[in-house]
Chains A and B, each alone.
Chain A
């Protein structure tokens, strides 16, 4: 079983819509969860982090964490073409503090 799983996509949404990105993880003891955005040919940049169950909002972005279901998601409201990128879910494991990345979901926002 892969440690961090994401749907590779591509996920295509129209401009102004809500984009929903999902991630599951296998280590039940995981403590920290991150969403990174990576434009083609560039390094990842941090979008959101979340540690506790529930929702965390930052501007157009909302991260949702459900530790019981081992599930973390990222919602992007009012999607813009500039949001088109690969979104990487990353998890710090409970035992070794190792950051593990999912394979990423390619999001395309169509004007």
Chain B
């Protein structure tokens, strides 16, 4: 199956700093990538849809100025958590698909963010 690579797999940062997470589709071009957040024992919550060459579409309740998404190429999307706070500590997961009505999602390995 297709491979989506996410980096870093874990990061610890100080409160108030920013953290960038990368998501790459390694063997296919993804015009759309998705960013999810998952708190312990909770389901995946879609944060935003990242569109190559255009602005991301954010889900209700997600602050676009805090979670900056850049989809600069067909194989790379980045999520930057700005001015991180302890409540931003979570498991962030990206996914990509080939698009269309039958497209299965391929997930990155996830990034465990801990803000101290």
A46: which B residues are within 8 A, CB to CB? 1, 104-106
User: Which candidate, A13-21, A55-63, A71-79, A99-107, is the interface stretch facing chain B?
Assistant: A99-107
Would B43 and A43 count as touching, CB distance under 8 A? no
Q: How large is the interface on A (under 10, 10 to 19, 20 to 34, 35 or more residues)?
A: 20 to 34
Question: Once bound together, how far apart are the Cα atoms of A51 and B103, in whole Å?
Answer: 11
Question: Once bound together, how far apart are the Cα atoms of A97 and B49, in whole Å?
Answer: 12
| Nearest CB of chain B from residue A24's CB, rounded to whole Å | 15
Give the residue name and chain of the A residue nearest to B49 (CB).
A98
Partner of B43, one of A34, A42, A104: A104
A31: which B residues are within 8 A, CB to CB? 101-102
Task: Assess whether A23 is interfacial by the CB under 8 Å rule.
Answer: no
B97: which A residues are within 8 A, CB to CB? 99
User: Which candidate, B14-22, B63-71, B107-115, is the interface stretch facing chain A?
Assistant: B107-115
Question: Once bound together, how far apart are the Cα atoms of A45 and B47, in whole Å?
Answer: 19
B interface residues with partner A (beta carbon < 8 Å): 1, 6, 34, 42-44, 46, 91, 93, 95, 97, 99-110, 112
Between-chain CB contacts (< 8 Å), 14 pairs: A34-B105, A42-B110, A43-B93, A43-B107, A43-B110, A44-B93, A51-B102, A92-B103, A97-B99, A99-B103, A99-B105, A101-B43, A101-B44, A103-B42
A interface residues with partner B (beta carbon < 8 Å): 31-32, 34, 41-46, 49, 51, 88, 90, 92, 97, 99-104
